[in-house]
Homo-oligomer: A and B are copies of this chain.
Amino acid sequence: MGHYNRFAGANLGRLEALSDGLFAVAMTLLVFDLHAPAAAAIARAGGLTGALVTLLPRLLVYLMSFLTLGIFWVGQQTGLNFLAATDRNLTWLHLGFLFAVSLMPFSTALMAGFIAYRAALLVYWCNIFLLGALLFAALRYAAGAGLVRADAPEGAHRAVERRIVIAQALYGVGAALCLFSTYASIGFIILVQLNYVIAPRVWGLDRL
């Protein structure tokens, strides 16, 4: 007789579609938290410029989170590109990963509101750690369960895993810097992310 868990959650295309939708919503909601100043609080034109300038640090936090989500979207995409199929266990690992994605607007709003508080930074770091750990677990499971395509480039799957481990080590250093200052943490994390986005071909930085 048929048994549910043997067929369930086996559609790779729908997992990709759900992921793209959820990333798209989370990326847009990040900035949706950035409210225009209330009209009543702005007495004259100069007041608006001043209010906008005070929003700039928040904007930097949203940009950082957009980069985070972009980095993990590229990472997930790259991992899924090598798969021939999925099964219900792998699908659930990715649903866990997507839950961590859905937490990002909250973590980001928290850090934007409490930029000088270690508790906010640690919540944010936990969120990044969760993203990395679940994506790593999904990659490792896919390799072990024989779901990787036969024609996937040699060593590609391990290269994604290696990238996650190094990135998480760097994010960990960034989080530890909050012992000195949360601003040092944020600055370091943004530098790490810009390195992954720009991938400069000097000093082997693009191979981290």
What's the interface size class on A, roughly?
A: 35 or more
Cα of A112 to Cα of B36 in the assembled complex, Å: 10
Q: Which residues of B contact A16 (CB under 8 A)?
A: 14, 17
CB pair B27 A98 closer than 8 Å: yes
Tell me the nearest residue of chain B to A10, going by C-beta: B81
Tell me the nearest residue of chain B to A206, going by C-beta: B5
Q: Does chain B have a CB within 8 A of A203? A: no
With A27-B102, A36-B112, A88-B199 known, 16 other A-B pairs at CB within 8 A are A1-B155, A7-B159, A11-B77, A14-B20, A16-B17, A17-B20, A21-B23, A21-B25, A29-B32, A31-B105, A36-B106, A48-B119, A52-B110, A70-B95, A74-B91, A74-B92
Q: Which residues of B contact A27 (CB under 8 A)?
A: 22, 98-99, 102
CB pair B120 A48 closer than 8 Å: yes
Cross-interface CB contact of A36 among B7, B9, B109, cutoff 8 Å: B109
CB pair A70 B92 closer than 8 Å: yes
Tell me the number of copies of this protein.
4
Cross-interface CB contact of A159 among B1, B25, B26, B114, cutoff 8 Å: B1
Q: Given A14-B20, A24-B22, do A74 and B113 touch, yes or no (CB 8 Å)?
A: no
CB 8 Å contact bits of A147-169 with B (1 = contact, 0 = none): 00000011111111011000000
Cα of A3 to Cα of B120 in the assembled complex, Å: 34
Q: Which residues of B contact A163 (CB under 8 A)?
A: 4
Cross-interface CB contact of A5 among B98, B119, B154, B199, cutoff 8 Å: B199
Q: Which 6 A-B pairs rank lowest in CB-CB distance, beginning with the nearest?
A: A21-B24, A2-B155, A2-B159, A17-B20, A25-B28, A22-B24
Q: Does chain B have a CB within 8 A of A73? A: yes
Q: Which residues of B contact A118 (CB under 8 A)?
A: 45
CB pair B52 A123 closer than 8 Å: yes
Cα of A156 to Cα of B7 in the assembled complex, Å: 7
Q: Does chain B have a CB within 8 A of A49? A: yes
CB pair A153 B7 closer than 8 Å: yes
